[in-house]
């Protein structure tokens, strides 16, 4: 399945490995921070609504 | 037609980005998967560089986005300085971690590619050096945002830093032309067809570039939304504290 990369196999695979790890890491960190921010805002807004009703 | 300034309203920005983001994520993922599989599995080796030519599908798009992310931050910073739209300052802040990752990918893949081709991981070549300085500017920009508590002062100072750093973003792009020396080759993509890489490498490269551009847009929109929510949360908490 993997093409014959010859004597440069380690070079090519390490470049792909490092880049894919960095890209996936960036996406995951962004999604996690986004979810956390959304939850924090919802919590504050809910607290505010409860106080306003009371 | 809606004016672009309508998106300076955080609510309008969030509403629009929520609609656009699913499409952007899917298109970015599709282009990246198709481009990288095409480039890695279905393109031949180069007659001089062998299979290392496959690194081009990561190195060139990442380098392009490293420079263009900074230019996008420059435009957003100028909008902040001139029109004081908070969303534009937050968009610049949101783009920095994406830009620094792209710069890091370009530096790492460049070093890995350079070792077998030039016989060294690193050389103080004009393009490599200006890219390293651009990377340091990204780190400085993010550190400045983190170090200043007042968000408007942070936006002002980081905007000025962005203007200064733009010199290096432009140098990174044109270093090869300014100084006709160093190891790094000229542009892989050019309006001059003679300078371009061969079509067999060019087409999957274009798909990968499209993937990187779309991923950048998706990440910046998403992260700007996150910054807007964080800012709103802080404002509500401050209001609560003032009432108590």
Flag if B58 and A12 touch (Cβ within 8 Å).
Answer: no
Neighbours of B90 (CB within 10 A): 24
pTM (2 d.p.):
0.91
Angstroms from B171 CA to nearest CA on chain A: 24
Size of interface A-B (CB pairs under 8 A): 97
Could you tell me the sign of the dihedral formed by the alpha carbons of A29, B40, B70, B180, in that order?
Answer: positive
Q: Which residue has the higher pLDDT, B129 or B70?
A: B70
Query: Is the model's pLDDT at B177 over the cut of 70?
Result: no
Choose among B51, B59, B226: nearest Cβ to A8: B51
Query: Is the model's pLDDT at B1 over the cut of 60?
Result: no
Q: Tell me the average pLDDT across B78-91.
A: 95
| Burial class of residue A14 in the structure, from the number of CB atoms within 10 Å of its CB (0-12 exposed, 13-18 middle, 19+ buried) | middle
d(CA B186, CA B154): 37
Flag if A30 and B58 touch (Cβ within 8 Å).
Answer: no
Q: In sequence order, what are the beta bridge partners of B46? A: B50
CB contact B225 to A (< 8 Å): yes
Q: Tell me the average pLDDT across B43-70.
A: 93
Flag if B233 and A40 touch (Cβ within 8 Å).
Answer: yes
Q: In sequence order, what are the beta bridge partners of A26? A: none
Flag if B108 and A27 touch (Cβ within 8 Å).
Answer: no
pLDDT at B2: 64
Nearest CA in chain A to B114: A11
- Confidence band of B186 (pLDDT split at 50, 70, 90): low
Task: Tell me the chain A residues in contact with residue B36 when contact means C-beta distances shorter than 8 Å.
Answer: 16
Q: How far, in Å, are A30, B29, B40, B212 from residue B35 at the CA level?
A: 23, 10, 8, 10
Query: Is the model's pLDDT at B54 over the cut of 90?
Result: yes
Query: Is the model's pLDDT at B101 over the cut of 60?
Result: yes
Of the listed ranges B3-17, B38-52, B67-81, B145-159, the one predicted with least confidence: B3-17
């Amino acid at each position: 399945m993997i093409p014959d990369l010859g004597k440069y196999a380690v070079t090519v695979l390490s470049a792909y490995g490092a880049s894919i790890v960095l890209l996936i890491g960036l996406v995951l960190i962004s999604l996690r921070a986004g979810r956390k921010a959304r939850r924090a805002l919802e919590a504050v807004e809910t607290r505010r609504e409860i106080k306003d009703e009371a | 037609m809606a004016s672009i300034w309508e998106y300076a309203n955080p609510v309008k920005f969030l509403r629009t980005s929520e609609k656009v983001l699913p499409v952007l994520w899917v298109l970015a993922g599709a282009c990246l998967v198709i481009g990288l599989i095409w480039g890695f599995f279905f393109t031949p080796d180069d007659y001089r560089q062998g299979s290392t030519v496959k690194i081009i599908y990561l190195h060139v798009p990442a380098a392009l986005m490293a420079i263009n992310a900074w230019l996008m931050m420059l435009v957003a910073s100028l909008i902040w300085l001139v029109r004081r739209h908070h969303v534009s300052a937050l968009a610049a802040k949101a783009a920095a971690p994406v830009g620094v990752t792209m710069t890091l990918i370009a530096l790492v893949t460049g070093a890995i590619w350079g070792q077998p081709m030039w016989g060294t991981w690193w050389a103080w070549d004009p393009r490599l050096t200006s890219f390293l300085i651009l990377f340091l500017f990204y780190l400085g920009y993010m550190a400045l945002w983190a170090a200043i508590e007042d968000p408007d002062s942070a936006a002002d100072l980081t905007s000025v830093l962005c203007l200064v750093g733009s010199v290096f973003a432009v140098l990174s792009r044109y270093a090869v032309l300014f100084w006709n020396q160093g190891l790094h080759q000229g542009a892989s993509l050019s309006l001059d067809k003679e300078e371009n890489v061969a079509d067999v490498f060019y087409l999957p490269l274009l798909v990968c570039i499209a993937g990187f551009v779309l991923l950048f847009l998706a990440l910046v929109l998403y992260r700007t939304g996150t910054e807007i929510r964080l800012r709103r949360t802080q404002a509500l908490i401050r209001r609560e504290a003032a009432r108590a």
